[in-house]
């Protein structure tokens, strides 16, 4: 099904943030920090004690939060440090947070840093850079720039951590389950969630300072600590929101910003959710057509009937989750999360079809594996994608819906994505997961304002992206006055992850030498 990919110009292998690179040799590594730069004259004077931080780069083996990361971080090519930021920017003399950094130092004379965020909210930039390390090492960007992944506040190795539930509770399904919306069906359940998140995160102040507005301010402190006069940044998916917000907040401090899998700045949070579900449905329709080409397709020979056939396969799990070999039970929410993750890349479609066929035959193991991949669950039971932080950030980013609005949203999801139109997902009465959050949001709608006269940035948008549809990338490029690279394909994210030399060459020309692609530029995966 893949459309005529170009042969790569240099060795590449496919990977994602959910697939770790090969094991590395465990060796200690000591690093020296460059001389601290003078304070930025344009910086907030209240942040003086945070400017010019002297980063103590050293080996990363002691910074991992799970065994899988420990194996990745042991690579002697990597260095780690942390940056202090105010927990609350309205009280810079109060409590401090620490933002974890991981870098691959430039192999030549460093011209600065490329700061990387893989998305989420809840994705770890340190894990992402470490897990795709061979791709970075093959890239000319790493010859001239340090590649630096960061863990946004609450994520990974950054502190304070934001926790609502334990890994064991995620294993047991004792967490708010996500179908069309979160399965929060009463004010009492919403209040319980807010209380759990407050207690697990060490207090209200830690929890309510997690929003994107503060993450963007953290990025500017990181830029200063790295010694970069201007920011060079690569953000995927949700990371495109952070990059766009930074460009608007600090246009004079932007060198280069790449937004891959860009989120539309024109949509409300509910509108964006509906567009993403419509994108997932479009890719499921494609998967159904792909499956129908085989005579024994588990979804049947008619792609138009695939939604109903999917419902037949999964509905028994609504009342009776399937026991698995490791003692966990696979429920219908797990299956849909796994399918959704599999739809993020056309290369994963055969795995989705195989998992559904096995599930239909009574074997839940492949569907469980897809669910675990979605969560980035490691072999030791640690969850690499932080969905507690995801909730916390989104609760501080977007206006809260009333129960009537949340219930209507669930129904609309069933309309735009009939693969999700099961009663368990769409027929209930729902409350927002953020209904009882202890503070109001710090970001409004629209979330991007004043995007005029900015330095030229670059948006990369895949035509068949199931999570951040192409129309959103076009809207982001228009809002920022950015260059736009349109990529033919069916995948979420393209640079380094898509195996396309065409995409990589365009992005690298921009990151290295600020050469934007011509109008109408296109590549394919």
Residue 165: active-site member: no
Q: CA gyration radius for the chain? A: 22
Asked if residues 198 and 207 have their Cβ atoms less than 8 Å apart, the reply is yes
Burial class (CB in 10 A: 0-12, 13-18, 19+), 105: middle
Residue among 146, 260, 386, 465 flagged as catalytic: 465
Neighbours of 182 (CB within 10 A): 21
**Token digits of residue 267:** 């949509």
Residue 250: active-site member: no
Residue among 218, 492, 504, 524 flagged as catalytic: 492
Asked if residues 398 and 441 have their Cβ atoms less than 8 Å apart, the reply is yes
Q: What is the dihedral of CA 302, 305, 306, 309, to 10 degrees?
A: -120
Residue length of the chain: 525
Collapse the DSSP code of 98 into the 3-class scheme (helix H, G, I; strand E, B; otherwise coil) and give the result. Answer: strand
Asked if residues 467 and 491 have their Cβ atoms less than 8 Å apart, the reply is no
Q: Helix H segments across 250-299?
A: 269-292
Strand partners, 257: 233
Residue among 124, 237, 240, 264 flagged as catalytic: 237
Q: Whole-angstrom Cα distance, residue 213 to residue 482?
A: 22
**First-to-final CA distance of the chain:** 11
Secondary structure (H, E, C), 313-345: HHCHHHHCCEECCCCCEECHHHHHHHHHHHCCE
Q: Please, what sign has the CA dihedral across residues 409, 411, 415, 417?
A: positive
Residue 293: active-site member: no
Q: Which positions are annotated as active-site residues?
A: 237, 465, 492
């Amino acid at each position: 099904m893949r459309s005529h990919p170009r042969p790569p110009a240099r060795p590449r292998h496919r990977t994602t943030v959910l697939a770790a690179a090969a094991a590395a040799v465990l060796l200690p590594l000591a690093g020296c920090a460059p001389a601290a730069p003078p304070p930025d004259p344009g910086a907030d004077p209240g942040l003086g004690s945070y400017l010019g931080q002297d980063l103590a780069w050293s080996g990363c083996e002691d910074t991992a939060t799970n065994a899988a990361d420990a194996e990745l971080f042991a690579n002697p090519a990597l260095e780690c440090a942390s940056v202090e930021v105010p927990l609350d920017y309205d009280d810079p003399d109060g409590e401090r947070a620490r933002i974890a950094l991981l870098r691959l130092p430039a192999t030549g004379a460093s011209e600065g840093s490329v700061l990387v965020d893989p998305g989420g909210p809840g994705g770890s930039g340190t894990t992402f850079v470490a897990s795709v390390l061979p791709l970075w090492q093959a890239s000319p960007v790493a010859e001239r720039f340090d590649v630096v992944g960061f863990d946004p506040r609450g994520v990974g190795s950054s502190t304070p951590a934001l926790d609502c539930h334990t890994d064991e509770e995620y294993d047991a399904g004792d967490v708010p389950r996500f179908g069309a919306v979160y399965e929060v069906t009463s004010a009492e359940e919403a209040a319980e969630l807010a209380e759990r998140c407050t207690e697990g995160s060490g207090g209200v102040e830690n929890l309510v300072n997690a929003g994107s507005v503060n993450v963007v301010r953290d990025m500017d402190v990181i830029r200063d600590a790295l010694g970069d006069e201007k920011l060079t940044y690569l953000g995927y998916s949700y990371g495109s929101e952070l990059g766009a917000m930074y460009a608007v907040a600090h246009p004079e401090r932007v060198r280069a910003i790449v937004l891959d899998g860009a989120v539309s700045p024109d949509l409300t949070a509910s509108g964006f959710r509906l567009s993403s579900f419509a994108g997932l449905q479009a890719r499921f329709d494609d998967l159904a057509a792909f499956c129908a080409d085989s005579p024994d397709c588990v979804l049947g020979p008619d792609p138009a009937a695939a939604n109903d056939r999917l419902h037949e396969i999964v509905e028994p799990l609504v009342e009776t989750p399937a026991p698995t070999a490791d003692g966990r039970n696979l429920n219908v929410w797990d299956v849909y999360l796994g399918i959704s993750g599999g739809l993020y890349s056309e290369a994963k479609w055969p795995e989705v079809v195989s998992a559904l066929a096995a599930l239909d035959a009574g074997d839940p193991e492949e569907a469980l594996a897809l669910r675990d991949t979605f969560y980035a669950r490691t072999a030791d039971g640690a969850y690499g994608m932080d969905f507690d932080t995801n909730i916390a950030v989104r609760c501080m980013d977007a206006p809260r819906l009333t129960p009537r609005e949340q219930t209507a949203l669930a129904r609309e999801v069933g309309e735009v994505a009939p693969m999700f139109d099961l009663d368990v997902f769409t027929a209930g009465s729902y409350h927002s997961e953020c209904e009882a959050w202890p503070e109001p949001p710090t970001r409004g709608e629209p979330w991007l304002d004043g995007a005029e006269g900015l330095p030229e940035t670059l948006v990369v948008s895949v035509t068949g992206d199931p999570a951040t549809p192409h129309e959103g990338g076009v809207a982001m490029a228009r809002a920022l006055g950015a260059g736009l690279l349109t990529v033919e394909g069916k995948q979420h994210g393209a640079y380094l992850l898509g195996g396309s030399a065409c995409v990589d060459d365009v992005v690298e020309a921009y990151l290295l030498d600020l050469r934007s692609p011509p109008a109408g530029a296109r590549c394919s995966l």
